[in-house]
Amino acid sequence: MARDSSQGTTFDMNAAWWLLTALAVLAVGYRYYSAFLAAKVLCLDDRRRTPAHEHNDGHNFHPTNKWVLFGHHFAAITGAGPLIGPVLAAQFGFLPGFLWILFGVVLGGAVHDFVILVASTRRGGRSLAEIARAELGPVLGTVTALAILFIIVIALAGLGNVVVGALAESPWGVFTVGLSIPIALLMGLHIYVNRKGSVRGIREASIAGVVLLGISLVLGESIAGSAYADWFRHSRVTLTLAIAVYGFVASVLPVWVLLCPRDYLSSYLKIGTIALLVVGILIVNPSIEMPAVTEYVHGGGPIIKGPLFPFVFITIACGAISGFHALVASGTTPKMVDRESHTRPIAYGSMLMEGLVGITALIAACVMPPEDYVAINTDPKVAMVASVATKGAGLAHSAEQLASADSALTAHDRRVLGLESGASLGSVAGQSYPASKVLALSSGLLARLDYSVDPSAPQATTLSDADFARLGISVKDLPALSRSAGEVVAARTGGGVSLAVGMARVFSGLPGMGTLLAYWYHFAIMFEALFILTTIDTGTRIGRFLMQEFLGRAHPELGRSSSRVGGVLASGLIVLGWAYFILTGNITTIWPMFGVANQLLACTALCVGTTIVLREAPKRHYALVTFLPLCFLSTTTLAGGVESVRRIYLPMTEVAATRTTGWVNAIVTTFLVVGVTCVILGSARRWLAQIRGPAVAIDAPAAS
- Of residues 676, 104, 598, the one with CA closest to residue 322: 598
Q: What is the average per-residue pLDDT within 189-206? A: 75
Q: What is the average per-residue pLDDT within 457-465? A: 83
pLDDT of residue 110: 95
More confident call, 148 vs 637? 637
Cβ atoms of 363 and 90 closer than 8 Å = no
By the 10 Å C-beta count (0-12 exposed, 13-18 middle, 19+ buried), 560 is classed as middle
Angle separating helix axes 171-189 and 199-224, nearest 10 degrees: 160
C-alpha 243/C-alpha 537 separation (Å) is 9
Q: What is the average per-residue pLDDT within 222-242? A: 79
Does residue 2 have a pLDDT over 50? no
Does residue 3 have a pLDDT over 50? no
More confident call, 442 vs 257? 442
Q: What is the average per-residue pLDDT within 639-643? A: 90
Residues with Cβ within 8 Å of 32's Cβ and at least 6 positions away in sequence, in order, are: none
Confidence class for position 700, pLDDT limits 50, 70, 90: very low
Helix (H, G, I), strand (E, B) or coil at 121: helix
pLDDT of residue 602: 92
Q: For residue 195, which amino acid is it?
A: R
Q: What is the average per-residue pLDDT within 546-557? A: 79
Does residue 8 have a pLDDT over 60? no
Does residue 292 have a pLDDT over 80? yes
Cβ atoms of 107 and 321 closer than 8 Å = no
- What DSSP state is assigned to residue 2? E
C-alpha 452/C-alpha 463 separation (Å) is 5
C-alpha 483/C-alpha 638 separation (Å) is 44
Does residue 644 have a pLDDT over 60? yes
Confidence class for position 500, pLDDT limits 50, 70, 90: confident
- Of residues 703, 631, 643, 634, the one with CA closest to residue 675: 634
Q: What is the average per-residue pLDDT within 270-278? A: 84
By the 10 Å C-beta count (0-12 exposed, 13-18 middle, 19+ buried), 101 is classed as buried
Does residue 4 have a pLDDT over 70? no
Confidence class for position 66, pLDDT limits 50, 70, 90: confident
C-alpha 274/C-alpha 144 separation (Å) is 35
Please list the residues that pair with 293 across neighbouring strands. 9
DSSP track, 669-698: HHHHHHHHHHHHHHHHHHHHHHHHS---PP
More confident call, 453 vs 62? 453
Cβ atoms of 305 and 647 closer than 8 Å = yes
By the 10 Å C-beta count (0-12 exposed, 13-18 middle, 19+ buried), 557 is classed as exposed
- What DSSP state is assigned to residue 699? P
Least confident of 182-186, 604-608, 657-661: 182-186
C-alpha 521/C-alpha 485 separation (Å) is 6
Does residue 703 have a pLDDT over 90? no
- Look over the chain and give the mean of its residue pLDDT values, rounded to a whole number: 84
Structure-derived torsion over alpha carbons of residues 615, 618, 619, 625, reported in degrees to the nearest 10: -70
Does residue 697 have a pLDDT over 60? no
pLDDT of residue 358: 92
Q: What is the average per-residue pLDDT within 480-489? A: 82
Q: Could you tell me what percent of the chain has a pLDDT over 70? A: 92
List Cα–Cα distances, 305 to 135, 297, 302, 433, 654, in angstroms: 38, 10, 7, 21, 17
C-alpha 361/C-alpha 363 separation (Å) is 5
Helix H or strand E encompassing 4: strand 2-5
Does residue 643 have a pLDDT over 60? yes
Does residue 148 have a pLDDT over 70? yes
pLDDT of residue 623: 94
Confidence class for position 258, pLDDT limits 50, 70, 90: low
Cβ atoms of 396 and 402 closer than 8 Å = yes
Cβ atoms of 578 and 156 closer than 8 Å = yes
pLDDT of residue 383: 92
Least confident of 33-37, 42-46, 61-65: 61-65
State how far Cα 586 lies from the chain centre.
14
More confident call, 192 vs 704? 192
Does residue 5 have a pLDDT over 60? no
List Cα–Cα distances, 125 to 235, 242, 334, 476, in angstroms: 40, 31, 5, 52
pLDDT of residue 701: 45
This prediction's pTM: 0.82
Residues with Cβ within 8 Å of 445's Cβ and at least 6 positions away in sequence, in order, are: 405, 408, 409, 410, 413
C-alpha 259/C-alpha 271 separation (Å) is 18
Cβ atoms of 622 and 182 closer than 8 Å = no
Going along the chain from its start, the domains and CATH numbers come out as 2-169+234-375+521-692 (1.20.1740.10), 381-472 (no CATH)
pLDDT of residue 141: 79
Confidence class for position 587, pLDDT limits 50, 70, 90: low
Q: What is the average per-residue pLDDT within 398-404? A: 89
Strands 293-294, 8-11: parallel, antiparallel or unpaired by DSSP? antiparallel
Give 522-545 pLDDT, tens digit per residue: 788 777 777 677 777 777 887 887
Helix H or strand E encompassing 69: helix 66-77
State how far Cα 37 lies from the chain centre.
28
Does residue 11 have a pLDDT over 60? no
Give 89-126 pLDDT, tens digit per residue: 999 999 999 999 999 999 999 999 999 999 999 998 88
Peptide bond between residue 455 and the one before it cis (omega within 30 degrees of 0) = no
Q: What is the average per-residue pLDDT within 65-74? A: 82
Cβ atoms of 256 and 192 closer than 8 Å = yes
